[in-house]
Structure 1
Amino acid sequence: MAGLYSDAFIETLRQGAQSLVGAWGLSPRTEVALLTISENATFLATDPERGARMVLRVHRPGYHTRAEIESELVWIADLRAKGVVETPEPLPMVGGGHIASFDHDGGHREVVAFSFMSGAEPSPDADLTEGFHALGAISARLHDHTRTWAQPPGFIRKTWTWDTMLGPTPHWGDWRAALGLTPDGAAVLERVSNDLRARLAAYGTGPDRFGLVHADLRLANLLVEGDRLGVIDFDDCGFGWFGYDFAAAISFLEHEPYIPALQQAWVDGYRTVAALPEEEEAMLPTFVMLRRLLLTAWIASHSETPTAQELGTGYTDGTVMLAERFLETAR
């Protein structure tokens, strides 16, 4: 790998994670190996003495506060306790607490641990219809939970609105810096951004449609084993529109011709658990466009990541094409 994600950089993070295995009661013989890296890095820690495996997540600096990380783990724990979703358990350290850290590059990297969950990421080349039906039901259970859950004092997560996604205070960067964006393309995206702002303002943020969501239910964060569909990586969970969870689920696939079928499967699955009014179903394409433009901004601000380098300017071109189609449909 090149740049920030060089082998040397990853090895530094791996050694940092290795230095903390004792905090979770693992032996010095524990082997730590990279699982995935995007912004956070996740490592599999395998202890041959205990026969134990756990996943260590090394957080990127400057994104979440410690209180935000703790809040994520609190929500996961409650979801698990109530059987809402199958997801790995946040593991406490031997001395109490859930967050450790190691010094890195003049600052520190926070680390949390989860139980290991087996399974495989769904393939985008497979028939995803059945899986999206199950994902719709899972999404409905998540949303039902957040409508009734009494958040503990000090609970804090980021809010995902037009302002924090595409507007003046974006969490993931400015779409105007998109790789390869031409002046004509920028004009199209400006129009669609303004259209999204108006649509979302009219739709509103009432408690029936806006609350705590996973916000990143893409294929990479799903694990399938037999009939089980597990959900991982709540790192981006926050307060947003419930329908946005569908849009996140089709990340990087928005252009595929089978998306309408996946949307219908998700809606049908959702309605096996909870009501989904027609007004909310009709907003799903809006959330898809919102997510697509947000991802375009993410790629622009994270151009050093392997994902951004793989997608390149072609993703920007695709976003412009989808925006033109969206505006035409709106007219």
Structure 2
Amino acid sequence: MSPEDKFALEEFKNSINMVEGLYEVSLPWKDYKKQLPTNLALSRKRLNSTIHKLKQTNKYLEIYDQIIKEQLSLGFIETVQEDLKLNNIHYLLHLPVIKDSTTTPIRIVFDASARMDKQAPSLNDCLYSGPSLTSHLTNLLLKFRLDPFAVSADISKAFLRVGLQPIDRDYTRFIWLKDPNNEKELQAYRFRSVLFGATCSPFLLQSTLQHHFETYPTSPEVSFLMTKFFVDNLIGSLSTTVSLYSLYKVAKEVLSDARMLLIEWISNDPTFNEMVTQEGDGTTEGSDLVKVLGLHWNYKTDHLSIKPLTFEETPLTKRLLLSNLSKVFDPYVLPPELQEQW
């Protein structure tokens, strides 16, 4: 590890504690934390742009508001009063990412890399990223295919399940409408948990999970949990159905002790899938294909595949395609139809 990574890990170990069953951590700050600007004016300007984009479809504006209200009710964020007299305040910009999904058509993204100007640092500039504690993707994929019974699950709203200590919360403020039908009245919020978008968030989640697993006696199930997570995704394979069912039982119990929920369980064992569906923990994809580390996994046939790349054929895309092919192939081994264009 680099000296910066070692420092971030040491700071994490010194700061993590459990409050009412929830782990709380502090942000791994660099020395120039005090240079972080308030950012309120830029935040208000970006908010107007976000509202304008959302108002093009009224449904999206309401959904955006519902997401924020849901996070408030779940305790992931809290309301605050704007007080410009305080020095330790920073406002985050946020924007919608519209997805082709019937269940979650909008995701709110918080821009922790936004700067007020070229000289001012962003929140991410002031934070250490921390060391990566996840297994290599190749290793995880090989272990996913190693034994007969493959399994995958996700932690629901994983980053938000790690609390943020009060001393750092005012650096994660943001503003939104009190009422989606009234653009003049604004409400300030701040995060009570680790936000998705901060450069250190994956490190804080991984370190919290590792810390939590280390509090349990060694067992095959706990060892599996310690080595088979890629950020918030549990991915691996087991040799028997007995070990598969045992993992499900132990993992749910262990994660619930940290107020985390393991959902979207899926396996190539149909009996297991039926059981977790009855428990309410099965996948909601509604398809034979689920995503595993960027690949498509058909859990019924137990095949992995890559989603085909599609693009609009234009003179520009043809040139880009030929340019990239030239970096990989000798032009004389290209198909005849491409040799002529070459």
Structure 1 and Structure 2 fold alike (TM over 0.5):
no
Structure 1 length normalisation: TM-score?
0.27
More helix by share: 1
Tell me which structure has the larger Cα radius of gyration: 2
More strand by share: 2
Structure 2 length normalisation: TM-score?
0.27
